[in-house]
Amino acid sequence: MVPNPFYDFTDSVSYLRGKHSFKFGGEYAHIETDVFNHDTRGRIDFMHKQVAFSDSTALEDFFAGKPFKGTQIIGDAHRTLEWANYAGFIQDDWRVTPKTNR
């Protein structure tokens, strides 16, 4: 099986101007995964039946091997799922005086 790609790009920039400290940044993430579900190829249902002179529960029908109905799913069970996330920020730190306390 081929590894699933994951891309994550982040970057930020700082800019000082007088009493302001501006910061800008962003992120882009792309995630991809391959899914092959073996569990969804069919279904067997056991249902409570009421027949003349016979009353059984779904659990009793299961243990007796008497299914009510069955379905089979056909087609390709392989799926590729993709996500893309975006994020960004702008920040301004403002000081009363341009000097810092030491």
Residues 87 and 55 reside in one and the same domain = no
Comparison of pLDDT for 93 and 35, the residue scoring more: 93
Residues 69 and 49 reside in one and the same domain = yes
What is the DSSP secondary-structure string of 5-63?
Answer: PEEEEEEEEEEEETTEEEEEEEEEEEEEEEEE-STTSEEEE---EEETTEEE-HHHHHH
Residues 34 and 45 reside in one and the same domain = no
pTM of the model: 0.48
Look at the chain and report how many structural domains it folds into: 2
**Which residue range is the domain that position 47 belongs to?**
41-76
Query: Confidence band (pLDDT; 50, 70, 90) for 73?
Result: confident
pLDDT per position as a tens digit, 11-42: 999 999 888 899 999 999 999 988 766 656 67
Name the token pair of 86: 């975006």
pLDDT of residue 80: 82
Residues 3 and 30 reside in one and the same domain = yes
Residues 51 and 70 reside in one and the same domain = yes
Residues 2 and 32 reside in one and the same domain = yes
